Structure 1
Amino acid sequence: MKHMGDNGGLNNRYLGVLLIGLVGVSLGMFGVRSVAEGGPTGVPLCAPGDLPPQAYDTIDLVEKGGPFPEPGEDDTHFGNYEGLLPEEPSDYYREYTVPTPGLGHRGERRIVTGGGADGEVDEWYFTADHYESFCEIPEH
């Protein structure tokens, strides 16, 4: 004979899912972010393995001041017209090509940096899809 409360633990599962949802909403209300949401800029953080090896080569070139693979295209103004990066003054962002092996043109991959007037890089971003999405590069 089945008792009214004997439902194979379904109530416990529903309560568990509800509790997890409530905790997640509560944390979000109090400003707690997950790593996937990103750092202080709000742009998602690049996960380990998201960056191709060529991105690290480009980062090294930026830190050295060049020479860059696409003269006239690299170390130029990036307008953030898509609005996916934090809003900053128009001279804040610069872009750099991340070469794609075997491709005969510039390709879609870029490093975008953000920084102050002193020329120091404060923020590093990577896009693999020509500005349709970005991830913020944490410590490199």
Structure 2
Amino acid sequence: MAHQAPQKKTVLGTIGAALLVAIGGYFGVDLLTDEQAPAGSTVSGLPACEMGSLPDEAEETAADIVAGGPFEYPDNDGTRFGNYEGELPDQELGYYREYTVDTPGLDHRGARRIVTGGDADTDPDVWYYTHDHYESFCEIPDAS
């Protein structure tokens, strides 16, 4: 009987660990990796990223967009974004515009951008952020 107690503890420990993983999975927590689960998803199907979770410079860029400028890179900011990578929802050409999100310490534009969509330049319908030069995006639900 003394040998059954350690086995029973091992089985209970395994069941407990499996339950933790299952419960974590249900609530969107991946306990098996170091990566965080996306904050949520949006109508676009892209992960959501609240403005407060982005670099401070993204909020500064968003304020410039709403104000209509001035922009740090006037030849580039506010220009048409073609979505050639196909990462954003399909829209007619000219729907998206891109803006530089400054990266401190760089002497060039860097990779960070806000891409907006819609008819009004200063009141976009949708806002997206990319930190890796259009390789991936998240939708900013609380921008503007």
TM-score bracket for the superposition, by shorter chain length: 0.7 to 0.9
CA distance in 1, matches of 2:112, 2:62: 13
Partner of 1:109: 112
- The answer to which of 56-65 and 84-93 deviates more is 84-93
CA-CA distance at 1:13 after TM superposition = 2.9
TM-score between both structures, scaled by the size of structure 2: 0.73
Residue 39 (structure 1) aligns with: 42
Separation (CA, whole Å) in 2 of partners of 1:100 and 1:59: 15
1:51 aligns with one of 45, 49, 54: 54
Report what 1:72 is aligned to: 75
**Aligned residues with identical type, % of pairs:** 48
Give 4+ residue runs of structure 1 displaced > 6 Å after superposition.
none
Q: Give me the TM-score of the superposition, normalised by structure 1.
A: 0.75
Q: SS where residue 109 of structure 2 aligns?
A: coil
One-letter code of the match for 1:7? K
What CA deviation, in whole Å up to 9, does each residue of 1:5-46 have, x standing for no partner? x6221574376368649967xxxxxxxxx8634211111111
After superposition, where does 1:1-140 map in structure 2 within 5 Å? 1=1, 7-8=8-9, 9-10=12-13, 12-13=15-16, 16=19, 20=23, 36-47=39-50, 49-115=52-118, 117-119=119-121, 120-140=123-143
What is the distance in 2 between the residues matched to 1:36 and 1:58? 22
Specify every segment of 5 or more residues in structure 2 that has no aligned partner in the other structure, as ranges.
Answer: 28-36
**Per-residue Cα deviation, 1:29-76 (whole angstroms, up to 9, x for no partner):** xxxxx8634211111111565311111111011101111111121101
Take 1:15 and 1:109, find their aligned partners in 2: how far apart are those partners? 39
Equivalenced residue count is 129
Gaps of 5+ in 1: 25-33
